[in-house]
Chains A and B, each alone.
Chain A
Amino acid sequence: MRFNEKELVSLSRQPPERAAELGMRGPKKGEVVKKRLVKLVVNFLFYFRTDEEEPIGALLLEQCRVEREDSQSFSIAFLDEAERKYLFECDSEEQCREWVDSIIKASYEFMRKNLIFYRTEIHRLTGKDPLEQYGISDETRFQVNNSLQLLPRDTSSL
């Protein structure tokens, strides 16, 4: 599948939401933990060999499950394959918690849910649709969907 590689590499150079050197292990059997520079930019997780300009790879952070594995490491599972996880080792419990929190909040779908929640609530409280002002009330992406999922995901337990 073709993709706009140069533009994506350029994106990996933008100011990240979060960046750090972490231990990273891929999901396949027999993989070992390697030191990688991990960067969170929009809803992508880029990972680099230390001191290299171009990322080795990019992971889209949608439809994934982020979990604490132990006090200092977390994992990300994609494709509903719970056993195939990417593992990340942090330097501290706090750093680990912050990464998990940031990755969850980076997802487009998470942000969309928040938006729909705020839109609905503001309309309820004020009688006005806050998106009218921006001329985007009719955009499909901002519509309240059938399942009426109004509450943003609760991350307070993390």
Chain B
Amino acid sequence: MKLHEKILTHYLSCTSPVDKEGYLYKKKERNATYQRRWFVLKANLLFYQERPADRHLLGVIVLEGCAVRRSESDVQFAFSLVFEGPGLKTYRFAAGDGQTQESWVKALLSASHCYLSLLVRDLGRQYEEAKQQRGVGESCHSSFFKQSTTNFSFPVQRPTAEVREGRSFSASTVLQAPSIPTKAVAKKSPKLWPRRNAHVTPLNGPAPLFSEWPLVGFNPLEDFSTLHDYYGQEVKKAREEWRRSQRAEEEHIDGDLIDLG
């Protein structure tokens, strides 16, 4: 099959933003050695070349239909892209350190077109609900971004969460019980639902009754939020643990300095 490469390289070099780039080690299939490559992630495409300045691209991996996994392997900070299907590949990578590894795993988890499609659909629905609750014809506020603790227009350097395992979207792994993170368990758990509409609940009105929420008989292919119940909460939890351990570490370091006297 012919892949029109010029279209891809043109897209890579055009002005739309790159989603992530950096050095990673890529495992060669044949002799199991790792080679250092410069990777560029853009949309659902992972390009790689020898060095950032190189014009010549070595290759591209289209990121649809694959799961992202942290792997226990012979090397540290390893992760892989596992394409699901008979005869399909697994690409293995290793990062230079834990933070790079987590950062790449997280970026790759949200890279697929399918993922974005569900996310847009979900947000589109939230937007309609929010508009209805505020009333149509409301004029724009002069302050474009409300003052809030989350100023999302500027990416904040927060510690990346420790993700034990994550999967890009595929119908079979939509619902995963938080207690069994390594297996895909198709379970419909009503307990996972209540969080969903938390932030579009109007402040001065009663929260919609559980039975009124449009999740009864939901189609997992259409409900992105339930897909993410496991992922989002797990990430948050891990991030909190990481922060706590960081704080503990900092205190310990301070203690040492004082002891020098």
Contacts and interface: CB of A to CB of B under 8 A. Distances in A.
The binding surface of chain B is classed by DSSP as: mixed
Given A60-B11, A129-B152, A114 B199 contact: no
A156 B148 CA distance: 35
B7 A60 contact: yes
Given A6-B88, A131-B152, A135-B231, A43 B113 contact: yes
Given A3-B62, A134-B231, A109 B16 contact: yes
Interface in B24-70: 43-45, 57-62, 64-66
Interface in A87-140: 108-109, 111-112, 114-115, 118-140
Contacts of B44: 42-43, 108
Interface stretch (B93-101, B127-135, B172-180, B251-259): B127-135
B85 A59 contact: no
Interface stretch (B71-79, B153-161, B242-250): B153-161
Contact of A133 (B106, B111, B199): B199
A130 B145 CA distance: 14
Nearest to A14: B65
A11 B88 contact: no
Contacts of B141: 124
A8 interface: yes
Contacts of A128: 148, 150, 199-200
A55 to B, nearest CB: 5
Contacts of B18: 140
B5, B61, B126, most chain A CB atoms within 10 A:
B126
Interface in B1-32: 1-11, 14, 16-20
A94 B140 CA distance: 37
Given A63-B16, A122-B126, A143-B154, 5 more contacts: A42-B117, A58-B4, A78-B6, A120-B145, A134-B228
Interface of B: 1-11, 14, 16-20, 43-45, 57-62, 64-66, 83, 85, 87-89, 91, 106-107, 110-114, 116-117, 119-120, 123-124, 126-127, 130-131, 133-134, 140-141, 144-146, 148, 150, 152-156, 158, 161, 195-196, 198-200, 225, 228, 231-232, 235-236, 239
Interface of A: 1-12, 14, 42-44, 54-60, 62-64, 78-80, 108-109, 111-112, 114-115, 118-145
